[in-house]
Amino acid sequence: MITINRLSATYIDAVESIQLAPEQLRFAGTPQEFLSERCETTHLHVICKQETVVGYFKLDLAYADKYTYCPSSALGLRAFVIDNQYQGQGLGSAAMRALLSYLARHYAQYRWLYLGVNCENPGAYACYKKAGLSVCKEKYLGGPAGPQYIMYSEICLSRA
């Protein structure tokens, strides 16, 4: 079973040991970069399979302030990572579905989840599509690693 948990001191060592393929680092960054971004508007989370940390992500409460494609009633997903040894097992899509349920319970003040996925990252794109996210017609062209698909999902209580 996949669960989503807010980052706490208990998970730091496990997050630091997460490995990504070198070609994925340009899209998501390192675990150290993930851990360095702690502020009021960025909530760090871990993805667990049973009791094992298999990934992490950031919820950006100020995403709409940074990206004009994002409505004010949305929060953003950034740095969504599944450890290299757990990829290809459907955990990314399962984690996205678990995340949407988690958001309906813990972030009910938001109506939408938005994210950008690099056009050269087909694995991540397929993961999000498999989890039921929709794709905007336009692309975001200001991504640090190139053009991005804009993806989104409604956060609804029926998922909780």
Ordered structural domains, the chain, with CATH: 2-159 (3.40.630.30)
Question: SS3 of 57, please?
Answer: strand
For the chain, the maximum distance between any two Cα atoms, rounded to a whole number of angstroms, is 41
Q: What is the per-residue pLDDT for 156?
A: 79
Query: Considering the chain, what percentage of its residues have pLDDT values greater than 70?
Result: 98
Mean pLDDT of the chain: 93
Q: How confident is the model over 85-100, as pLDDT tens digits?
A: 999 999 999 999 999 9
Q: How confident is the model over 23-67, as pLDDT tens digits?
A: 888 888 899 999 998 889 999 999 999 999 999 999 999 999 999
Q: What is the per-residue pLDDT for 157?
A: 61
Q: How confident is the model over 139-149, as pLDDT tens digits?
A: 999 877 789 99
Confidence of residue 159 (pLDDT cuts 50, 70, 90): low
Q: Where are the beta strands (DSSP E) in 51-124?
A: 52-60, 74-82, 112-118
Range 130-147 average pLDDT: 91
Give the Cα separation of 81 and 90 in Å (integer): 13
DSSP code of 159? G
pTM: 0.92
Work out the angle between the directed axes of helices 122-130 and 91-106 (0-180°, nearest 10): 60
